Amino acid sequence: MCYGALMADVQNIANTLDAEVDLSSEYVRSVSEALAAGDNESVRLQVRDLRPPDLADLIELLEPNQRAPFVTALGSEIDYDAFSELDAAVRDQLAAELPNAYLARAATELDSDDAAYFLETLEPRDRDEVLEQLPLSDRAALQRNLEYPEETAGRLMQGEFVSVAPFWNVGQVIDYMRETEELPTTFSEIYIVDPLFKVLGSVNLSHLLRSKRHVPIEEIMRDDISTVDANADQEDVARQFERYDLYSAPVVDASGRLVGVMTVDDVVEVIQEEADEDIRRLGGVGNESMTNNVLSTTQSRFIWLLVNLLTAVLASAVIKMFDASIEQMVALAVLMPIVASMGGNAGTQTMTVAVRALATRDLTAVNASRIVLREVSVGLLNGLLFALILALVTVLWFGSGALGLVIAAAMVFNHLAAALAGILVPLTLQRLGKDPAIASSVFVTTITDVVGFFAFLGLATFWLF
């Protein structure tokens, strides 16, 4: 494909992406120019129809030095829900640059979980100043969220919920919902609690509205509900929602008291974040995002590139051991990258499946031995198949049956090593309490390169010379 055609395809893809969110380059440029000219009225007119996710995308597309002025230009017309859709790096930048009074207004409009997400990186003094400007009820809910560690249910939960006593009837509950202004604006579950605020059960809003007013609420409540520990890791919470098909779940503290509620929209974000995190870590880019600057991106990638350099030197040292054999037969230099490349790809396949299975708890101590045996069998079978193919190619290419047998044997050895490394390295890291997504690729690649080069060059030296 020629360069011009390739660039045309890239532009078509970019235009398609722009059309999906209605944020073309011309539109972003127009907003940017109006902002630079100080025409805040034009800025507000151009973005008034954007929904929160699209508004968040627009903020991320603007130049970093324009983001805070853009938010300020929108004033009270901004939909604060856009803050909960922002990339973490952009969110942290805005939290640091916007005035505390503005952050206080945003925290008042947002649900407590989204407000905590927006304010969590503030300096303690700034955070206290923001909290002091909030109404007492909002401040208490937000402080409750911020007390819990990051990536736990307590940090992600919504502090706003509806709870009633078990001796109330349906009519009393309905009147309470109509007359009480402090209740959340949207909810689907009503929780029944005892005097100590421990959860006894729940009633779905639709079930409540279909019941007669005189019916006691405890007669229609479900008492088999799943509760979430406020200190539970967000991945465990997401798995609980997936396993039991939950739409929402009450969050309880160490004493079993109701402190918040987790909803499925929060869990969907967790699942997406964890999947993105695993993919980035497998690629050695950590928590990098598209909005990070050049310096931070370079820093995050440099460490793993340095580790890869050290492992490459190790593989080169193995090649150096057989430099005399390579000098005598140039074909060895031509063929040995094939052995290492095939082993590396096979190991990466196994490692990717293993890391994801560990993350989803599909691979555990109970079935580990069976999965290891399966991967070894797959590695052996693929090794034999590719050994046959590559042996025939070698014979036709170099006219040497002995060289074909050598590379065939090396291919089998390396595929077996790749299968074992791809499954055992993540399992070992998991057993040691390390995240297998972080370092698995480095170890697996090193093993397949070293074994591939050593097996191929060692067999060639022993057999052919």
Q: In the 8-state DSSP scheme, what is residue 19?
A: H
Whole-model pTM: value is: 0.68
End-to-end CA distance of the chain: 45
Only one residue has tokens 């590396």, namely: 344
- Report if residue 111 sits inside a domain: yes
Same domain for 207 and 142: no
The pLDDT value recorded for residue 209 is 93
Q: Which amino acid is at 148?
A: Y
Lookup: tokens for 82: 């856009």
Q: Single out the residue of 142, 138, 186, 139 nearest to residue 162, CA to CA.
A: 186
User: What is the block-wise mean pLDDT of the chain (465 residues), using blocks of 10 residues?
Assistant: 40 44 83 93 92 93 93 90 87 90 90 84 88 87 88 90 95 94 88 95 94 95 93 91 90 94 87 75 66 73 77 85 82 88 89 85 88 93 94 91 92 93 91 79 86 89 80
Number of other residues whose CB lies within 10 A of the CB of residue 186: 9
Q: How far apart, in whole angstroms, are the C-alpha atoms of residue 216 and residue 219?
A: 6
The pLDDT value recorded for residue 235 is 87
Give me the phi and psi of 191, to 5 degrees please. Answer: -105, 135
The pLDDT value recorded for residue 3 is 35
Same domain for 80 and 196: no
- CATH code at 450? 1.10.357.20
Which residue, of 120, 150, 180, is where some domain finishes? 150
- Report if residue 7 sits inside a domain: no
Same domain for 440 and 314: yes
Domain count, the chain: 3
3-state secondary structure of 228: strand
Q: How far apart, in whole angstroms, are the C-alpha atoms of residue 173 and residue 191?
A: 11
The pLDDT value recorded for residue 269 is 82
Q: Report whether 64 contacts 94 (CB < 8 A).
A: no
Which residue, of 282, 309, 332, is where some domain finishes? 282
- For residue 167, the enclosing domain spans 163-282
Cα 361–365–368 angle (5° rounding)?
90
Residues near 286 by beta carbon (within 8 Å), at least 6 away in sequence? 280, 300
Whether the CA torsion 414, 416, 422, 427 is positive or negative: it is negative
- Report if residue 287 sits inside a domain: no
Only one residue has tokens 């856009």, namely: 82
Q: Which amino acid is at 28?
A: V
The pLDDT value recorded for residue 384 is 95
Same domain for 172 and 137: no
Same domain for 406 and 272: no
Distance of CA 346 to the CA centre of its chain: 25
